[in-house]
């Protein structure tokens, strides 16, 4: 993502100075200017930017890159710069799919888009046209004659067939003897079904001859788009996916800009990943003249310290399944790719973790996370180029399977060996524990035999627990009966084992179920669970029926209440009070009077307000004209805390805008001053 460049007061004053200049006689010949065109912070700490150097409004080629310097927040950066070489030419092959499926509108749009690219080439750049449809044809060999190239494009017609890989391989062969920068622009709208070569053959040859393949997938299957993207990425080119013919012109114009880029592309590795506010000062010297550009940018950042936290359930029963999470704080920037790995350790004798991460509702949502078992009870998580999908601390989830055990046990989960690419951070870890509750018992129920009862008596069936239970552990019980559907007047009386109202029951036809809705603590270690009451018999007839016990079970949480208590992690989002992280206070600069004139003695006073944190730093104060040329050095020494005043005498200088540029350890500060004669 490219940072937006804001129009500054600096730019406005430069324009004003041009309006105030009295005439051509006072203008310096061959003004040198430098400007930032774009800055990309998305791959921090690697920063790339494009800078254009102009002399009398014309792009300068053949710059000495050793004469270009950059300060980021006042800190010198080591630059890697690629500027266009005027002695080099571009050799470009247009590899065009003219198969039958391109007939009509697509072929017309492709022809016009290709003409735009031809027109954008420099006067010494050469181009060739290779088509593939019925066969592979070098329709036009390399030439700088743009009329011939465009005439050949107009003659292109559609045929059957799509030998994409063979055509691309042939294009590399055509490029191999050329001495310029080698480029192939390849487009297709269908899958290759005819080539004898494969994509790996094309990539290998392209890299051998240092050719960059720029590929365009026009309305083809997503799986085949990946092959086209591979050809571009692995050879240093660019890839585009196009759905409509009308989009082809814009795509070819972008590729033309890449091939014929007249400005310098620079890269440096920032030593600062924490600040979001950055001031860049670029200085360029050419033919004895120096130009400077100062711009402020906002960039993504990464915290200096990061916490990884395991969050697992408080407890699980044997053979149950649940899930855990890895949390990360603070929330990573959504503008920085996250490549992170770490190891999660646990007791493999008590739980199992499958290598199937899940990411729904997490920072990694809908992106690939790889889990690999690196040792018994050790799982490595690998996140590669993840773009944070949600503003959440929840990083990724994982499944947990509790294994059978002979007793209740704690399972400790801990993270170690976290590694991150790009901007570094100091990691700390918070562990968590899971309690495996190993208790599941059958319930022994005894029902007394009933022989004969009078009609006025109710049938009372006591349900007794013969095996002891633990009073300090929560219990759940379920008893199921088969009861004739014509039996009415059924009720349940509480027993002595559980508190009153601890049991509930439900009946559905001939099925009757007695159960505890929630876990309860037993009042005794054995005794009467409940009494089933049936009757009395209100009919004149004798009733004979049977009650069949289907099944009964007792589940008791055998995890002592007085043992270690699992920790609970609470993450609560609050109000964001700061959008960006402010840099440390730097020196402030002003001047008065401003504007100043010959009536003021052609003099203005520059005032520096120096905070305590900047006192004692070395600094230089230069005066630059509107073209960025250094005119005078007003001071070279140390900063003193408080207010410093330095005079600037413009006697003998023409009217216009001048810039005071202060450079010190705290950063670079500029001040625009208007002088009127």
Q: Give the model's pLDDT for residue 599.
A: 78
Judged against a pLDDT cut of 80, whether residue 619 lies above it is answered with: yes
Transcribe 360-394 into DSSP letters: TTSTTTTS-EEEEEEETTEEEEEEEEE---SS-SE
- pTM exceeds cut of 0.85: no
Judged against a pLDDT cut of 90, whether residue 538 lies above it is answered with: no
| Top CATH class, 305-436 | mainly beta
Within 8 A by CB and 6+ apart from 313, the residues are 322, 323, 324, 400, 434
Judged against a pLDDT cut of 50, whether residue 649 lies above it is answered with: yes
Judged against a pLDDT cut of 60, whether residue 513 lies above it is answered with: yes
pLDDT level of residue 438 (50, 70, 90 thresholds): low
Q: Give the model's pLDDT for residue 613.
A: 79
pLDDT single digits (tens) 22-79: 444 444 456 899 999 889 998 889 999 999 999 888 888 788 889 999 999 999 999 9
608 to each of 277, 374, 408, 561, 589, how far by Cα in Å?
22, 60, 71, 68, 5
Q: Give the model's pLDDT for residue 97.
A: 87
Q: Which of 484, 481, 503, 483 is nearest to 492 (CA)?
A: 503
pLDDT single digits (tens) 475-496: 778 888 888 777 778 888 888 8
- Report how far residue 588's alpha carbon sits from residue 585's, in angstroms, rounded to the nearest whole number: 9
What value, to the nearest 5°, has the Cα angle with vertex 92 and ends 90 and 96?
165
CA 125 to chain centroid: 39
454 CB-side CA count, 13 A: 2
Judged against a pLDDT cut of 60, whether residue 417 lies above it is answered with: yes
Q: What are phi and psi of 24, to 5 degrees?
A: -60, -30
Pick the CATH number of 588-676 from 2.60.40.2550, 3.50.50.60, 1.10.20.10, 3.40.50.12160: 2.60.40.2550
DSSP designation for 31: -
Q: What are phi and psi of 659, to 5 degrees?
A: -125, 125
Largest alpha-carbon pair distance within the chain? Answer: 132
Within 8 A by CB and 6+ apart from 210, the residues are 182
Question: CB–CB of 476/516 below 8 Å?
Answer: yes
Q: Give the model's pLDDT for residue 3.
A: 39
Q: Give the tokens for residue 194.
A: 């005819």
The arithmetic mean of pLDDT across residues 164-189, rounded, is 93
What value, to the nearest 5°, has the Cα angle with vertex 242 and ends 238 and 248?
85
pLDDT level of residue 526 (50, 70, 90 thresholds): confident
pLDDT single digits (tens) 187-238: 988 888 788 999 999 999 999 999 999 999 988 877 788 899 899 989 988 8
Q: Give the tokens for residue 577.
A: 């009070």
Q: Give the model's pLDDT for residue 146.
A: 94
The arithmetic mean of pLDDT across residues 77-88, rounded, is 83
Q: Give the tokens for residue 25.
A: 């006689």
Which of these ranges, 167-181, 416-430, 485-499, has the smallest mean pLDDT? 485-499
Percent of the chain with pLDDT over 90: 36
Do the two domains 90-106+119-225 and 441-556 of this chain adopt the same fold? no
Within 8 A by CB and 6+ apart from 220, the residues are 188, 189, 190, 191, 228
Highest mean pLDDT among 259-273, 323-337, 396-410: 323-337
The arithmetic mean of pLDDT across residues 119-130, rounded, is 91
Average confidence score pLDDT of the chain: 82
Angle 199-208/222-233 helices, nearest 10 degrees? 20
CA dihedral (58, 59, 64, 70) in degrees, to 10, reads 110
Highest mean pLDDT among 346-360, 458-472, 504-518: 346-360
Report the side by side order of strands in the sheet with 459-465: 445-446, 459-465, 527-534, 490-494
Question: What residues does each domain of the chain span?
Answer: 31-84+263-298, 90-106+119-225, 305-436, 441-556, 588-676
Which of these ranges, 274-278, 294-298, 533-537, 557-561, has the smallest mean pLDDT? 557-561
DSSP designation for 482: E
Q: Which of 350, 430, 343 is nearest to 393 (CA)?
A: 430
- Report how far residue 91's alpha carbon sits from residue 182's, in angstroms, rounded to the nearest whole number: 5
CATH topology of domain 90-106+119-225: Rossmann fold (3.40.50)
Q: Give the model's pLDDT for residue 558.
A: 55
94 to each of 85, 131, 176, 292, 570, how far by Cα in Å?
23, 8, 15, 39, 59
Helix (H) or strand (E) holding 478: strand 475-482
pLDDT single digits (tens) 1-22: 333 333 343 333 333 344 444 4
Which of these ranges, 347-356, 424-433, 659-668, has the smallest mean pLDDT? 659-668
The CATH number of the structural domain formed by 441-556 is 2.60.40.680
| Top CATH class, 31-84+263-298 | mainly beta
């Amino acid at each position: 993502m490219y940072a937006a460049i804001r129009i500054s007061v600096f730019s406005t004053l430069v324009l004003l100075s041009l309006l105030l200049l009295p005439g051509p006689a006072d203008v310096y010949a061959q003004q040198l200017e430098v400007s930032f065109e774009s800055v990309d912070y998305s791959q921090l700490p690697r920063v790339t930017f494009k800078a254009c150097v102009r002399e009398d409004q014309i792009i300068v080629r053949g710059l000495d890159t050793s004469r270009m310097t950059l300060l980021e927040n006042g800190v010198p950066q080591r630059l890697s710069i690629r500027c266009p070489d005027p002695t080099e030419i571009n050799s470009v092959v247009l590899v065009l799919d003219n198969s039958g499926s391109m007939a009509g509108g697509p072929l017309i749009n492709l022809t016009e888009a290709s003409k735009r690219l031809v027109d954008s080439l420099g006067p010494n750049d050469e181009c060739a046209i290779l088509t593939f449809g019925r066969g592979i044809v070098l329709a036009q060999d390399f030439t700088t004659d743009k009329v011939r190239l465009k005439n050949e494009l107009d003659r292109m017609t559609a045929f059957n067939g799509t030998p994409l890989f063979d055509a691309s391989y042939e294009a590399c062969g055509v490029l191999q003897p050329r001495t310029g920068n080698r480029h192939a622009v390849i487009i297709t709208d269908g899958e290759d079904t005819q080539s004898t070569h494969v994509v790996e053959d094309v990539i290998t040859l392209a890299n051998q001859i240092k050719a960059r393949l720029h590929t365009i997938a026009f309305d083809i299957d997503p799986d085949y788009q990946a092959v086209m993207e591979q050809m571009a990425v692995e050879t240093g080119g660019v890839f585009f996916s196009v759905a409509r013919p009308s989009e082809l012109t814009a795509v070819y114009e972008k590729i033309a800009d890449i091939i014929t880029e007249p400005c310098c592309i620079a890269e440096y590795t920032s030593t600062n990943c924490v600040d979001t506010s950055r001031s860049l000062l670029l200085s360029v010297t050419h033919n004895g003249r120096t130009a400077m550009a100062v711009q402020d940018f906002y960039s993504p950042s990464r915290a200096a310290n990061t916490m990884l936290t395991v969050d697992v359930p408080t407890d699980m029963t044997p053979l149950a399944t649940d899930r855990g999470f890895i949390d990360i704080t603070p929330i990573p920037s959504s503008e920085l790719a996250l490549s992170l790995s770490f190891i999660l350790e646990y007791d493999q004798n008590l739980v199992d973790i499958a290598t199937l991460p899940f990411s729904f509702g997490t920072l990694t949502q809908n992106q690939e996370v790889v889990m690999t078992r690196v040792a018994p009870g050790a799982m490595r998580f690998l996140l590669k180029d993840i773009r944070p999908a949600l503003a959440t601390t929840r990083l990724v989830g994982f499944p947990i399977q509790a294994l059978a055990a002979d007793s209740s046990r704690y399972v400790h989960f801990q993270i170690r060996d976290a590694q991150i690419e790009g901007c570094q951070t100091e990691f700390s870890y918070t562990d968590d524990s899971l309690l495996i509750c190993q208790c599941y018992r059958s319930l022994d129920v005894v029902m007394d035999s009933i022989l004969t009862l009078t009609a006025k008596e109710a049938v009372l069936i006591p349900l007794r627990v013969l095996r002891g239970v633990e009073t300090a552990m929560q219990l759940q019980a379920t008893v199921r009966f088969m009861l004739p559907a014509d039996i009415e007047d059924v009720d349940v009386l509480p027993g002595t084992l559980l508190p009153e109202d601890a049991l509930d029951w439900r009946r559905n036809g001939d099925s009757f179920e007695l159960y505890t809705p929630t876990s309860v603590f037993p009042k005794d270690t054995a005794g009467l669970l409940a009494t089933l009451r049936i009757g009395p018999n209100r009919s004149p007839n004798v009733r004979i029926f049977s009650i069949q016990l289907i099944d009964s079970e007792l589940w008791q949480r055998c995890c002592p209440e007085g043992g270690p208590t699992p920790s609970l992690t609470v993450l609560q989002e609050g109000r964001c009070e700061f959008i960006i992280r402010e840099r440390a206070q730097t020196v402030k600069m002003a001047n008065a009077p401003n504007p100043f004139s010959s009536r003021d003695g052609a003099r203005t006073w520059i005032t520096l307000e120096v905070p305590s944190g900047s006192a004692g730093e070395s600094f230089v104060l230069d005066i630059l004209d509107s073209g960025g040329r250094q005119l005078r050095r007003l001071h070279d020494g140390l900063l003193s805390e408080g207010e410093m005043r330095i005079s600037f005498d413009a006697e003998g200088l023409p009217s216009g805008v001048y810039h005071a540029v202060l450079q010190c350890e705290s950063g670079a500060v500029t001040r625009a001053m208007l002088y009127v004669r």
